[in-house]
Amino acid sequence: MSEVVVVDYGIGNLGSVLKAFRHLGAPATLSGDPRALREAAAIVLPGDGAFGASMDELRQRGLLEPLLGAVKGGTPLLGICIGMQLLFEESEEMGTHRGLGLLGGRVRRLPPGLPVPHMGWNTLRAARPHGVLEGLGEAPYVYFVHSYFCDADPATVIATTDYGIELPAIVGRGQVLGLQFHPEKSQGVGLRLLDNALRTLGVRTSPAAEVARP
């Protein structure tokens, strides 16, 4: 299997994501080198924090154009947490900020009356069949930490979760996939999801031998 590049743009705990991929036996590296993005077999965009600050970091580090160019050239992309939100057209977090524009929709604040941030374990509910959901069982639990949600094009929604409203938890179109939750903090289910993502995006051809089953 070719190399997976986890984008190092100074946002969030990137090391835990890298560790999860290595646990699965995926040859993954952490890099902020634009050339590494152009040569990657797949790109992982993780992170936590503010939408606008994340986009600014990608831009200032010279990673925005190489990232978009790689994806438009067919390189698979997996966005995690804020990385999923960046896949969309824009966000209303602390002003209006343009995103990567790879998926249709807008990032909005969770509605008034709900505890913010949404932090803790919630179940996934499939919105449509997809390889990333394979073998997860009924109502698998994953770990969320976020204050904004993706008001996504319904055609891109793969799975949802209920937090006062039904919100997208997994989105995707073609070679672009996004997870709103933290798979690296979601124990066996999270590892299975990451393994499924590698195979769905064409990076891995068979399941990892050591991946924990739900």
Residues annotated as part of the active site: 81, 182, 184
| Residue 57 · residue 9 · CB < 8 Å | yes
Spatial separation of the C-alpha atoms in residues 20 and 13, rounded to whole Å: 12
**With 0-12 CB in 10 A as exposed, 13-18 as middle and 19+ as buried, what is 131?**
middle
Q: Which residue has the tokens 């010279």?
A: 62
Angstrom distance (rounded) from CA 134 to CA 160: 15
Angle between helices 187-200 and 14-23 (to 10 degrees): 80
Q: Residue 184: exposed, middle, or buried by beta-carbon count in 10 A (0-12, 13-18, 19+)?
A: buried
Q: Which amino acid is at 23?
A: H
Quote the CA–CA distance of 156 and 90 in Å, as a whole number. Answer: 16
